[in-house]
Amino acid sequence: MFVPPTFRFDAKAVLDDVAAVLGAPFPEARSGDTAVEAAQSDGLTYLERLERASWMLAGESRRVMALQVNLATAEPDPFDDPEYAEWSACAGIAMVLQVACRTADARIDDARILYERLPLTLAALRAGRISVSKAIVMVEETANLDAPEAARVEAAVLHKPGGTRSNFKRRVRSWVQRVDPGAVVRKREEARQEREAVTLEDRDGLSAINALMPAEDAARAWTAILEHATTLKIPGDERSVGALRVDAMVDLLVNRPDGTPRVVWQVQAIVPVGTLLGISGDDASIPGHGPVGAEVARDLAEQAGDCQRLLVDPDTGALVGATSTKYRPRFTKLSRVLKPGERAIGDDTRIQIPGFGPLPTDVADLIATDPQWQRLLSDPDTSEALDAHPDRYQPRVGLDRFIRLRDRHCRWPGCRRPAKYCDVDHTIPHHKGGLTIRHNLACLCRRHHQIKQIPGWKTVQGDHGELTFTTPTGRIYRTRPPNPDGTEPPDEVL
C-alpha cells in the first residue's frame, strides 16, 4: 500500500539546519586585525553561510518537487492517462514557482533524477556541501551511466566536492571516463541527435538567436559569418566588428546570393491613434517584442499593407472590437508633439479626443476631409457582431482574429507562447453548452489546453477576458489580457 510522505517534519529539520548555519557564532577576530578587517572577515563568513543555506533550501525544494510528481502518478485515478497526471502535477508546481512550464519541467526532471538516481548528490545539496550548479553537472554528466556506475562516480567525486564548477565538472568527466569509457561517446551521439535546439530570447529590446550544434558545424557557421562580414565593410563604414557580424548572419539567413529575400514575414504593431495623428508621443508596441518609439510607429503605419481598427472601452481599457481595413492611415507630423490636455494655437474645437482635448487645426482639417479617418475615430462596427452565431463550434474569422489580438499569447499563468501558435479554446466546453462568443474564448497553447481539461482543474472567464484557474489542490490564479498598449498586467495568486 502506498503511504503518502509528510513534508512538515522534514521541512522543519532543514529549516533548523539553516537556522543553525545562520546563527552560528563568527570566529574570533585575529589578533592585530583592525576594525575594518574584522568586519570584512565577519561579512565574508556570513556570506558563506547564506550561500550554503540557499543550497540546502534548493536541495529540499527539489526533493519535494520529485515527491509531488510521484504522489500524482502513484494513484492515477481519476486520470485515464498517467502522463496527464504528471502534466497536471508539473503545471501546479510551475504556478507555485511562478515560472513557465518549460522551466518547471526542466527543474522537475533534474529533481526526479537526483531523488531517484543520484541520492548522494541530493544529500550533499541538502547538506549545503555542493551548489545547485554542481548538482546539475552530476545529473548531466552521468546521464549515460547505469545506476551502479553513477553511484561510483558520486561516491568518488563527492568525497571532496570543493572548488569551482569547472573543476568539479572535469573531475566528474574523468570518473565517468574511468568507469565507462563508452558513456562519453554515447553522450556525444545523443547531443548530435538533439542539436536542433534553436531558441529566441529577448534582451532589453533586442533578441538573441541561440543554436546548440556540434563543434565542427559551429566552426563552419562561424567562419562563414566572419568571411561574409568582411565583404560588407565599405570605406567610411562606422559599424563595429560585432555589428558587421550580426548583419552578415542576417544576410546569410534571410537573403539569397542575389540579394532577394528567402522569406516574407509580417510585423504586427499596435499604434495609438494619438501617435498616428501626431498629437501624442506615446510608444507603439510589437506583440512579443515590446515597445517601439512613436516615430518608428508612424513609419510602420505608412508602410502597412493591412490595418485593423482596435476599439477600446474608455472606462475599463479593455479591447472590445477589432475590424480589418485596407486603408493605410494618413497622418500629420507636427513640429512638436502636444502634451495630453495641451491646447494648440489655432485649435479647432469642433473635434476632440478624450485625454488629449481639442485637436490642432491641421489635424482637424485632415479628419474633416478624410472619411476614412472619420471611420477610424468612430465606432464603425458594433462589438455584438463578433458574437454572432454563438452556437457554432469554430469561431468566425473576425472573432478568431479578435481573440488572438486581445490575448496575444497563451493565457495560462506564466506562459507566453504567441497567440498564432495557440488554440482558441472554449472556457466552458462547447459540448457542455459553452457558446462561441468573446466572453467564452481564450488563447491556450495545446499543452495547457489539454491540462485545462484534466479532471480537477477549473477555469472561469470574466467580462473583460480575465481567466481564473483553480488547480486540483485548490490553489487559485488569475490572468488578464495584455493592455492595448502592450503592457502586461501581473498574474495574480488569489
Each residue of 306-335: pLDDT tens digit?
666 666 665 566 676 666 665 556 555 544
Q: Is the pTM of the predicted complex or chain greater than 0.85? A: no
In a domain, residue 340? The reply is yes
Same-domain check for residues 408 and 353: no
Q: What is the pLDDT of residue 51?
A: 86
472 within 8 A of 457, measured Cβ to Cβ: yes
Confidence of residue 411 (pLDDT cuts 50, 70, 90): very high
CA distance 362 to 349: 12
Same-domain check for residues 388 and 372: no
Count Cβ atoms below 10 Å from residue 440 Cβ, excluding itself: 19
Per cent of the chain over pLDDT 70 is 65
Confidence of residue 10 (pLDDT cuts 50, 70, 90): low
Nearest CA to 62 out of 19, 130, 29, 111 is that of 111
In a domain, residue 202? The reply is no
In a domain, residue 200? The reply is no
464 within 8 A of 441, measured Cβ to Cβ: no
Beta bridge partners of 402: none
Write the burial class of residue 344 (CB in 10 Å: 0-12 exposed, 13-18 middle, 19+ buried).
middle
Q: Is the pLDDT of residue 115 over 50?
A: yes
Structure-block grid coordinates of residue 180: 565507462
Which range among 30-44, 309-323, 439-453 has the greatest average pLDDT? 439-453
Q: What is the pLDDT of residue 362?
A: 66
Q: Is the pLDDT of residue 21 over 70?
A: no
Higher pLDDT, 47 or 297: 47
Tally of structural domains, the chain:
4
The residue assigned the cell 547531443 is: 191
Its sign, for the CA torsion 208, 211, 216, 217, is: negative
Same-domain check for residues 397 and 371: no
Confidence of residue 236 (pLDDT cuts 50, 70, 90): confident
Q: What is the pLDDT of residue 442?
A: 94
401 within 8 A of 419, measured Cβ to Cβ: no
CA distance 297 to 493: 35
Q: Is the pLDDT of residue 468 over 90?
A: yes
Same-domain check for residues 149 and 32: yes
Decide which of 345, 363, 381 is a domain's last residue. 381
Same-domain check for residues 461 and 480: yes
In a domain, residue 195? The reply is no
Measured distance between the N- and C-terminal CA atoms of the chain, rounded to whole angstroms? 35
Confidence of residue 62 (pLDDT cuts 50, 70, 90): very high
Q: What is the pLDDT of residue 335?
A: 42
Confidence of residue 337 (pLDDT cuts 50, 70, 90): very low
DSSP strands (E only) in 268-371: 284-286, 290-292, 307-312, 319-325, 348-353, 357-359
Q: Average pLDDT for residues 78-103, to the nearest whole number?
A: 82
CA distance 149 to 228: 48
Angle at 388 between CA 382 and CA 392, to 5 degrees: 155
Same-domain check for residues 292 and 404: no
**Bridge-based pairing state of the strands 319-325 and 307-312:** antiparallel
Same-domain check for residues 28 and 155: yes
Q: Is the pLDDT of residue 48 over 90?
A: no
Decide which of 362, 381, 400 is a domain's last residue. 381
Q: What is the pLDDT of residue 347?
A: 45
CATH of the domain at 444: 1.10.30
According to DSSP, residue 409 is labeled B
Q: What is the pLDDT of residue 380?
A: 46
Q: 369-401 pLDDT, tens per residue?
A: 666 565 555 544 555 567 778 888 898 888 888
What is the DSSP secondary-structure string of 380-419?
Answer: -S-GGGGGSSTT-SSPPHHHHHHHHHHH-B--STT---BG
Same-domain check for residues 475 and 344: no
Structure-block grid coordinates of residue 455: 479532471
Confidence of residue 455 (pLDDT cuts 50, 70, 90): confident
Decide which of 381, 398, 418 is a domain's last residue. 381
In a domain, residue 368? The reply is yes
Mean pLDDT, rounded, of the chain? 77
CA distance 158 to 144: 19
Per cent of the chain over pLDDT 90 is 18
Residue type, 24: A
Q: What is the pLDDT of residue 207?
A: 75
188 within 8 A of 141, measured Cβ to Cβ: no
In a domain, residue 133? The reply is yes
Nearest CA to 271 out of 310, 305, 303 is that of 310
Q: What is the pLDDT of residue 336?
A: 42
Nearest CA to 143 out of 110, 106, 108, 104 is that of 110
Same-domain check for residues 38 and 51: yes
Structure-block grid coordinates of residue 407: 490575448
In a domain, residue 2? The reply is no
Q: What is the pLDDT of residue 159?
A: 86
Q: Domain limits at 233?
A: 208-254
Same-domain check for residues 40 and 101: yes
Nearest CA to 141 out of 173, 109, 113, 166 is that of 173
205 in helix, strand or coil? coil
Confidence of residue 132 (pLDDT cuts 50, 70, 90): very high
Write the burial class of residue 192 (CB in 10 Å: 0-12 exposed, 13-18 middle, 19+ buried).
exposed
145 within 8 A of 176, measured Cβ to Cβ: yes
Q: What is the pLDDT of residue 188?
A: 63
Size of the chain, expressed as the number of residues it contains: 494
Same-domain check for residues 478 and 407: yes
Structure-block grid coordinates of residue 218: 559551429
CA distance 490 to 471: 19
332 within 8 A of 279, measured Cβ to Cβ: no
Q: Is the pLDDT of residue 145 over 70?
A: yes
CA distance 479 to 28: 53
Q: Which helix (H) or strand (E) holds 21?
A: helix 8-23
CA distance 268 to 275: 16
Write the burial class of residue 427 (CB in 10 Å: 0-12 exposed, 13-18 middle, 19+ buried).
buried
The residue assigned the cell 510585423 is: 267
Same-domain check for residues 180 and 119: yes
Going by C-beta distance under 8 Å and a sequence separation of 6 or more, which residues neighbour residue 3? none
78 in helix, strand or coil? coil
In a domain, residue 40? The reply is yes
Count Cβ atoms below 10 Å from residue 494 Cβ, excluding itself: 9
Residue type, 327: Y
